[in-house]
Chains A and B, each alone.
Chain A
Amino acid sequence: MTEKVGRTAPRARDIIHLLLVLFITWLMLTSSLHWQEVTMGAFLSLVLALFLARSYGRLGLPPLSLIRVWRLGVYFLVLFAEIVKANIDVAYRVLHPRLPINPGIVVITTELSQDVAKVLLANSITLTPGTFTLDIQGDKLLIHWINVKSEDTAEATRLIAGRFEKHLKAVFA
Chain B
Amino acid sequence: MRATVGLILLAVIGVGVGISLLAIPFGAPKTEIGDYYIENAREDTGATNVVTSVVVGYRAFDTLGEVTVLFVAALGLGAVLATAGGKRGRSGVEPASLILSAGNIFLFPLILLFGAYIFTHGHLTPGGGFQGGAVIASAFLLVYLSSPGKRINESGATLTESVSGLVFVAIGLLGLTYGTHYFLANFLPKGTLNTLFSAGIIPVIYCAIGLKVGSELAGVVDNLMEETE
A-to-B contact residues, CB < 8 Å: 1, 3, 18, 21-22, 25-26, 29-30, 34, 36-37, 40, 44-45, 48-49, 52, 55-56, 58-59, 115-116, 118-119, 122-123, 133, 135-136
Give chain B nearest CB distance to A149 CB in angstroms: 24
In the assembled complex, the Cα of A29 lies from the Cα of B102 at a distance in Å of 23
Q: Within residues 88 to 107 of chain B, which ones have a CB less than 8 A from any CB in chain A?
A: 95, 97-99, 101-103, 105-106
Is A3 in contact with B113, judged by CB distance below 8 angstroms?
no
Is A59 in contact with B106, judged by CB distance below 8 angstroms?
yes
Q: Which residues of B contact A26 (CB under 8 A)?
A: 113, 117
Residue-wise, chain B 7-26 has the 8 Å CB interface mask toward A (1 for contact) of: 00000000000000000000
Query: Is B116 part of the binding interface, using a Cβ–Cβ cutoff of 8 Å?
Result: yes
Is A135 in contact with B117, judged by CB distance below 8 angstroms?
no
Query: With A36-B195, A40-B196, A44-B116 as given contacts, are A118 and B109 in contact (CB-CB < 8 Å)?
Result: no
The residue from A29, A36, A55 contacting B197, defined by CB atoms under 8 A apart? A36
Q: A3-B149, A56-B105, A123-B103 are in contact. List 13 more A-B contacts (CB 8 A).
A: A1-B105, A21-B109, A22-B109, A25-B110, A36-B195, A36-B197, A52-B109, A59-B102, A115-B102, A119-B98, A119-B99, A119-B102, A136-B98
Q: Which residues of B contact A59 (CB under 8 A)?
A: 102, 105-106
Is B99 in contact with A136, judged by CB distance below 8 angstroms?
yes
Q: Which residues of B contact A119 (CB under 8 A)?
A: 98-99, 102-103, 106
Is B109 in contact with A18, judged by CB distance below 8 angstroms?
yes
Q: Can you report 11 residue pairs joining A to B where beta carbons are below 8 Å apart?
A: A1-B95, A37-B196, A40-B120, A52-B109, A52-B112, A55-B105, A56-B106, A59-B106, A116-B106, A118-B98, A119-B102
Main secondary structure of the interface of A (DSSP, over half): helix
Q: Which residues of A contact B195 (CB under 8 A)?
A: 34, 36
Query: With A36-B195, A59-B102 as given contacts, are A136 and B97 in contact (CB-CB < 8 Å)?
Result: yes
Is B99 in contact with A123, judged by CB distance below 8 angstroms?
yes
Q: Which residues of B contact A34 (CB under 8 A)?
A: 195-196
Q: Which residues of A contact B103 (CB under 8 A)?
A: 119, 123
The residue from A36, A44, A58, A118 contacting B105, defined by CB atoms under 8 A apart? A58
Query: Is B160 part of the binding interface, using a Cβ–Cβ cutoff of 8 Å?
Result: no
Query: Is B162 part of the binding interface, using a Cβ–Cβ cutoff of 8 Å?
Result: no
Query: Is B150 part of the binding interface, using a Cβ–Cβ cutoff of 8 Å?
Result: yes
Query: Is B114 part of the binding interface, using a Cβ–Cβ cutoff of 8 Å?
Result: yes
Is B102 in contact with A22, judged by CB distance below 8 angstroms?
no
Q: Which residues of A contact B113 (CB under 8 A)?
A: 22, 25-26, 29, 44-45, 48
Give chain A nearest CB distance to B202 CB in angstroms: 15
In the assembled complex, the Cα of A118 lies from the Cα of B106 at a distance in Å of 13
Query: Is B183 part of the binding interface, using a Cβ–Cβ cutoff of 8 Å?
Result: no
Query: Is B63 part of the binding interface, using a Cβ–Cβ cutoff of 8 Å?
Result: no
Q: Which residue of B lies closest to A5 (CB)?
A: B150
Q: Which residue of B lies closest to A44 (CB)?
A: B116
In the assembled complex, the Cα of A118 lies from the Cα of B102 at a distance in Å of 9
